[in-house]
Amino acid sequence: MTDSSQAARVRFAPSPTGLTHLGSARTALYNYLLAKQTGGKFILRIEDTDSKRYVAEAEDDLKDSLKWLGLNWDEGVEVQGPHAPYRQSERKAIYREHAQELLENGHAFYCFCTPKELEAARQEQIKRKEQTRYPGTCRNLSLEDAQQRIKAGEEHVIRFKMPREGSITVTDELRGEITFENKNLDDYILVKSDGQALYHLAAMVDDHLMEITHVTRGEEWLATFPLHVHIYRAFGWQEPKWVHLSVFLKPQGKGKMSKRDTEQMKLSGQSIFVKDLEDMGYIPEGVINWIALMGWSYDDKTEFFRLENLIELFSIKKLNPSPAAIDFKKLDHFNGLHIRALEVKDLAQRLLPFFEAEGYEVDDDKLKDIVPLLQERLVTIDDAPSLAGFFFKDEVEPNPEELVAKGLNAEESANLAQKTLSILEQATDWEHDSLQEPLRALADEMEVKAGQLFGILRVAITGQRVSPPLFESMEIIGRETSLKRIKKAIALLEAQAA
Ligand code: GLU
């Protein structure tokens, strides 16, 4: 155990507003690792207080993405647990009670200022070159007066009564202590006029009630971090440990990702959304390894990590507060490593749907024979059908021009193919090594390079220029089909030569 011997209770608390992207996945991962490492609990809480921005499909996508990545939660929506409900829209009464407590102990106040009044005050502050903030109009209204006005039907919000003097020192596990002057902090809204609690109140109340020990969240919450600690202290609660994760930068390493960048990325066949990565043939192990290292490292050299290794080795202390650039080349690299590390049976199972989606009827035994040939070559598993679809076809349709070997003409190629056919027809043992040897001898005899001969044969057998190892492929395809394909190639070459 690297961080603490205390069983951590951590939460991933997304607002389902759009598809799950790498940033969320990484936050979820680090939380998950801390929980599993300490024998604690990983909690999924849905922060849906902003009903206008809530998207039901986004919540489904979120749960599917976590499950696909293998980050199953111990408590939370769907699975429930001792602190249910885990959906903020079902916890309104709890927030109301807590807002009431802050109103009564003088840490919050009712505010009746209209948007128009607030805007006028803001303009004044700008004119006076002051920092814009709540002007303080309702800060000192008595609770009784406020309640009268509420009874009379006046619209209101509830604000945190930020001390006007002094400072607050907060501690982020990555950045150390940070001191904020209270006078620079605002009287933030805790409850909106529709009675809905905002993140600042809802999340703090939930984190406390759900006994969260570590809050690991995005860096965008650093600005309101002092408010959150003020809220904890106003209730007299013990704070969790706070960890603010760095943002992701564009692949070029300049600036944060924008919506437009995301769209452009998709056009070039890349994506930051977990679902897209799945559809593109990345495997969860590869994605996990990739995102784990976007902000954390174990040492300078180790780069291959499975989820179970990460559980053992993860440490908050080794998180990097500087922003990480998204590097898709690394994703390809890690995906390849993890594909190679899979059991043949496992990879076969994962490849099957990709072949089926392309309309291939897949024979399971044959697939298991093919997998070892593909395993070394695949970057993403969706490459498999284009690389190996020929195994499941009755016939291939080679491009006649591709059958002509480099440096030879169609007639010479046809002649070479004919001689190849004669040799293979006599092969007693249809096994890759014994198929290859006499053909090498043939190339020597004909004074061509083995590569020229094998090139013709490859296109004849597979219908493509790039394929898994040729002779192993021929062994799997079998004598009859292989010979049939070579005969067809000879006919195509002869037709060109004529
Ligand atoms: N709902 C917040 C968000 O999605 C959660 C932040 C947090 O983890 O506290 O940004």
Active site residue 256: no
Q: Which atom of ligand 1 is nearest to the CA of 217?
A: 8
The answer to whether residues 131 and 235 belong to one domain is yes
- Encoded amino acid at 119, one letter: E
The answer to whether residues 171 and 231 belong to one domain is yes
- Residues 417-464: pLDDT tens digits? 999 999 999 999 999 999 999 999 999 999 999 999 999 999 999 999
Structure tokens at 245: 């994760």
**Helix, strand or coil, per DSSP, at residue 191:** strand
The answer to whether residues 107 and 154 belong to one domain is yes
Determine the average pLDDT of the residues in 163-174.
97
In a domain, 212, yes or no: yes
The answer to whether residues 108 and 168 belong to one domain is yes
In a domain, 53, yes or no: no
**Residue 129, domain CATH:** 3.40.50.620
**Helix, strand or coil, per DSSP, at residue 57:** helix
Contact 381, 283 (CB under 8 A): yes
Contact 352, 384 (CB under 8 A): no
Half-sphere exposure of 207 (CA within 13 A, CB side): 27
Helix (H) or strand (E) segment spanning residue 452: helix 450-462
DSSP class of residue 184 equals G
What pLDDT is stored for residue 231 in this prediction? Answer: 98
Domain end point (choices 189, 217, 245): 245
| Domains of the chain: total | 3
In a domain, 419, yes or no: yes
Please give the order of strands across the beta sheet that includes 241-245. Answer: 75-76, 41-44, 9-12, 214-218, 241-245, 167-172, 176-181
User: What is the rounded distance in angstroms from the CA atom of residue 217 to the CA atom of residue 435?
Assistant: 59
Q: Reply yes or no on whether the pLDDT at 108 is more than 60.
A: yes
- Residues 187-216: pLDDT tens digits? 999 999 999 999 999 999 999 999 999 999
Q: How far is the CA of 479 from the centre of ligand 1 (A)?
A: 61
Determine the average pLDDT of the residues in 32-40.
98
**416 lies in which domain range?**
400-497
What pLDDT is stored for residue 4 in this prediction? Answer: 54
> At which residue do the structure tokens 């440490």 appear?
315
Q: For residue 278, which of 352, 385, 350, 361 has the smallest C-alpha distance?
A: 350
- Residues 283-313: pLDDT tens digits? 999 999 999 999 999 998 999 999 999 999 9
In a domain, 71, yes or no: no
What are the distances in angstroms from CA 351 to CA 206, 296, 339, 387, 465? 42, 31, 11, 12, 22
The answer to whether residues 114 and 226 belong to one domain is yes
Q: Reply yes or no on whether the pLDDT at 274 is more than 90.
A: yes
The answer to whether residues 104 and 226 belong to one domain is yes
**Residue 479, domain CATH:** 1.10.10.350
The answer to whether residues 135 and 218 belong to one domain is yes
Pocket test for ligand 1, best of 11, 22, 199, 200 (most atoms within 8 A of CB): 199
Radius of gyration of the chain (CA): 32
Q: Reply yes or no on whether the pLDDT at 72 is more than 50.
A: yes
**Residue 375, domain CATH:** 1.10.8
Contact 352, 362 (CB under 8 A): yes
Q: For residue 402, which of 462, 487, 448, 459 has the smallest C-alpha distance?
A: 459
Q: Reply yes or no on whether the pLDDT at 2 is more than 50.
A: no
Domain end point (choices 230, 245, 260): 245
In a domain, 443, yes or no: yes
What pLDDT is stored for residue 414 in this prediction? Answer: 97
Ligand 1 pocket list (CB less than 6 A): 13-15, 47, 203, 217-218
Q: How far is the CA of 17 from the centre of ligand 1 (A)?
A: 11
In a domain, 95, yes or no: yes
The answer to whether residues 153 and 209 belong to one domain is yes
What pLDDT is stored for residue 464 in this prediction? Answer: 97
The pTM (predicted TM-score) of the whole model is 0.93
Query: What is the distance of C-alpha 366 from the center of its chain?
Result: 33
What pLDDT is stored for residue 264 in this prediction? Answer: 86
In a domain, 199, yes or no: yes
Neighbouring residues of 60: CB distance < 8 A, sequence distance ≥ 6 = none
The answer to whether residues 235 and 103 belong to one domain is yes
In a domain, 471, yes or no: yes
Neighbouring residues of 73: CB distance < 8 A, sequence distance ≥ 6 = 12, 32, 42, 43, 44, 66, 79
User: What is the rounded distance in angstroms from the CA atom of residue 93 to the CA atom of residue 101?
Assistant: 13
Q: Reply yes or no on whether the pLDDT at 331 is more than 80.
A: yes
Using 50, 70 and 90 to split pLDDT, how confident is the model at 1?
A: very low
Domain end point (choices 352, 372, 392): 392
Per the prediction, the chain carries an average pLDDT of: 96
Angle at 311 between CA 305 and CA 312, to 5 degrees: 90
The answer to whether residues 186 and 109 belong to one domain is yes
Q: How far is the CA of 215 from the centre of ligand 1 (A)?
A: 10
What pLDDT is stored for residue 258 in this prediction? Answer: 81
Give 251 or 315, the one with higher predicted confidence. 315
Query: Atom 3 in ligand 1: which residue has the minimum CA distance?
Result: 14
Q: Reply yes or no on whether the pLDDT at 3 is more than 80.
A: no
The answer to whether residues 124 and 187 belong to one domain is yes
The answer to whether residues 100 and 134 belong to one domain is yes
Per-state percent for the chain, helix, strand, coil, to nearest 5:
50, 10, 35
Neighbouring residues of 85: CB distance < 8 A, sequence distance ≥ 6 = 91
Q: For residue 3, which of 324, 289, 320, 311 has the smallest C-alpha distance?
A: 311
Give 249 or 367, the one with higher predicted confidence. 367
Helix (H) or strand (E) segment spanning residue 189: strand 189-191
Q: How far is the CA of 217 from the centre of ligand 1 (A)?
A: 6
Q: For residue 230, which of 184, 293, 193 has the smallest C-alpha distance?
A: 184
